[in-house]
Amino acid sequence: MASDKIIENENLEKEDLEILSEEKIFQKPKKVPIKQRQNVIEIEGFNFYYNSGSKQALFDINMAIKENTVTAFIGPSGCGKSTLLRSINRMNDLVDNIAVDGKIVVHSKDIYEKGMDVVKLRTEVGMVFQKANPFPMSIYDNVAFGPRNQGISDKNILNQIVEDSLKKAALWDDVKDYLKDSALGLSGGQQQRLCIARAIAMRPKILLMDEPTSALDPIATLKVEELILKLKNEYTIVIVTHSMAQATRVSDYTAFFLHGELIEYDRTKKIFTNPKDQKTEDYISGRFG
């Protein structure tokens, strides 16, 4: 068996070797059929209010998100996509005078329960924003920032985390010779991949992405989309997008929101070919929004 492997490897072309090394970085797709995967996020009767309760942004949201899948949140501007996304790692806590009721359970823990460690939650549930927001420091320091904050100071370990994270974010080849350069000198698409690397460096289990490609050109967008498809083997990803094409390219499930309500949530293919609700049909066919 072992010798077979060696002979096989000798016949590999350069291209195969690249794929091999990529496999070491990216995990292989899970064999478990999608329907049998575990729920990692469970949202139950969730309501969200801004302005001390005077503005309700989400109404009785119920949905479960399965592990190692990509879920797209779609819907017209102001329908509550970002509010729900930011509720999953309690990023909304940073907004004054908000209130919630109902539950969001992440890895079997109700994250709004008293005593929840929000810092730990945000480590497990990483976030990538619409506008790339690298810190004004070197590329290396951007990626090492989170792990250093967690108390990792060993240079070799940090080097390894930085390299792995940049590889997973498909940015390593672009920047490996410029790690000490300022992150602000990168292009928009590179900066967004750097922010993905920075999120990955924290070893999250879930990645939330709020319109991560809306400021990128088509080529940079494609790179990020390819990356999402690779990363879902290791992470559970929730992405907000205004692009129907993007939702169909990257997601397994799609949730359609309107005026703070979840109108329809199903396999992406079903939503885009045979939705149950007329409002979904109207939205995806471009009749409003």
Ligand X SMILES: Nc1ncnc2c1ncn2[C@@H]1O[C@H](COP(=O)(O)OP(=O)(O)OP(=O)(O)O)[C@@H](O)[C@H]1O
From the list 55, 120, 176, 276, which residue makes contact with ligand X (rule: CB under 6 A)? 55
Nearer to ligand X, 183 or 237 (CB): 237
Q: What's CA 194's distance to the chain center, in Å?
A: 14
Dihedral sign from CA coordinates of 47, 48, 54, 55:
negative
Within residues 57-86, the interface with Mg ion by CB under 5 A covers: 82
d(CA 268, CA 246): 11
Q: Is 49 in the site for ligand X (CB under 6 A)?
A: no
Q: Is 90 in the site for ligand X (CB under 6 A)?
A: no
Does position 254 interact with Mg ion (CB under 5 A)? The reply is: no
Could you tell which of Mg ion, ligand X, none binds residue 50, using a CB distance below 5 to 8 A set by kind? ligand X
Residue 68 interacts with ligand X (CB under 6 A)?
Answer: no
Q: Which residue's CB is nearer to Mg ion, number 15 or number 288?
A: 288
Query: Which of 57, 61, 132, 262 touches ligand X by CB under 6 A?
Result: 57
For 136-199, give the secondary structure using H, E and C: CCEHHHHHHHHHHHCCCCCHHHHHHHHHHHHHHCCCHHHHCCCCCCEHHHCCHHHHHHHHHHHH
40 within 8 A of 23, measured Cβ to Cβ: no
The interface region with ligand X, picked from 77-85, 106-114, 189-197, 263-271 by CB under 6 A, is 77-85
CB of 240 to Mg ion, least distance (A): 6
Position 241 contacts ligand X (CB under 6 A): no
134 contacts ligand X (rule: CB under 6 A): no
Q: What is the CA radius of gyration of the chain?
A: 20
Q: Cα separation of 50 and 96, whole Å?
A: 8
180 vs 253: CA distance, rounded Å: 39
Whole-number minimum distance, CB 76 to ligand X, in Å? 7
* Residues 240 and 86 sit within 8 Å (Cβ to Cβ): no
Work out which of 69, 83, 89, 192 binds ligand X, going by CB under 6 A. Answer: 83
Minimum CB–partner distance for residue 59 and ligand X (Å): 11
Q: Which residues bind ligand X (CB under 6 A)?
A: 50-51, 55, 57, 75, 77-83, 95
